[in-house]
Structure 1
Amino acid sequence: MTKKLFDKAKLRSTVAQQDVALVDRFDKADSILLKAPEPTTELRPAPQKSSVVRDTFSMPPDDYARIEELRITAAREGRVSTSKSEVVRAGLQALGRLNGQQLVEALDRLEKLVPGRKS
């Protein structure tokens, strides 16, 4: 087995060049990442993107089918795409416009379900 002989001066030079290149890359990254944000000229702040909450719930098959009927109705009226989530959220907004007595009456008309059970 032969031992390779390295030119120590050349090796030190290469290591020094790599050290300089590494420092240069970190300096460039810092200049980009640590740059102060430029002031905006907007008159109002940009709206914050809200996060969403994922949840699951049970409903009778007839209610689930009603969501699809409402999606089809919206499509017939010219709305290109309506998700199930949008139908449910629109329903919540509509319920929110009811007074307390109207809300209780709407809730009383619902079929009672046993939570977490399949029928």
Structure 2
Amino acid sequence: MKAAKSAKTEKAVKPASSASSAANANPAKAPKEARAVKTAKTAPASAAAPEKKPRAKKEKEKVVRDSFTMPKSDYAKIAELKQRCLDAGISVKKSELLRAGLNLLAVSPAKRLIAAVQELEAVKTGRPAKT
């Protein structure tokens, strides 16, 4: 008895689901037709409007993740520079500060670049020893 009832309920469910899928198929066509009508109505209005210049899209450059070693005093300078930017009303990240420094060095004369590099203390590369 139970098997017969479950078979009848399955049959009842299947036609309902196929009917609902058929009902879902018809509304999908209606918006497309409505879109076609809307674009036909808006086409003359857009032709009357002045043409806008397309924006030149700047391609996003891929980023590279890297790590490096620096003395604590230089790391403290980053915190100091971040605070100076905050005082000026600008929130800045460490990576942005480093990139800004690179840009400044890139436009500086070769003598200034060499002097800045020679002022740096040599640092042993790699991870610091755990203490």
TM-score normalised according to structure 2 size: 0.60
Q: CA shift at 1:103, angstroms?
A: 1.7
Aligned residues: 111
User: What do residues 19-70 of structure 1 show as CA deviations (whole Å, max 9, x unaligned)?
Assistant: 4246458779x9xxxxxxxxx9334323334443322111000000111112
Q: CA shift at 1:15, angstroms?
A: 4.2
**Structure having greater relative contact order (Cα 8 Å, sep ≥ 6):** 2
Rounded to whole Å, the distance in 2 between the matches of 1:45 and 1:55 is 30
Q: What amino acid does structure 1 have at the position aligned with 2:83?
A: I
In structure 2, what is the equivalent of residue 36 of structure 1?
Answer: none
**1:61 pairs with one of 72, 85, 96:** 72
Structure 2 residue 58 is matched with structure 1 residue 47: yes
The percentage of aligned residue pairs carrying the same residue is: 31
In structure 2, what is the equivalent of residue 17 of structure 1?
Answer: 19
Q: 1:24 to 1:49 in 2, by over 3 A?
A: farther
Q: CA shift at 1:95, angstroms?
A: 0.6
Flag the structure with higher helix content.
2
TM-score normalised according to structure 1 size: 0.65
In structure 2, what is the equivalent of residue 113 of structure 1?
Answer: 123
Q: CA shift at 1:86, angstroms?
A: 1.9
Rounded to whole Å, the distance in 2 between the matches of 1:24 and 1:59 is 65
**1:74 pairs with one of 67, 82, 85:** 85
Rounded to whole Å, the distance in 1 between the matches of 2:76 and 2:115 is 22
Q: 1:25 to 1:111 in 2, by over 3 A?
A: farther
Q: 1:27 to 1:111 in 2, by over 3 A?
A: farther
Q: What amino acid does structure 2 have at the position aligned with 1:45?
A: A
Structure 2 residues without counterparts, runs of 5 or longer: 33-50
Q: 1:101 to 1:11 in 2, by over 3 A?
A: same
Rounded to whole Å, the distance in 1 between the matches of 2:124 and 2:26 is 65
What root-mean-square deviation, in Å, do the aligned CA atoms of Structure 1 and Structure 2 show?
A: 3.7
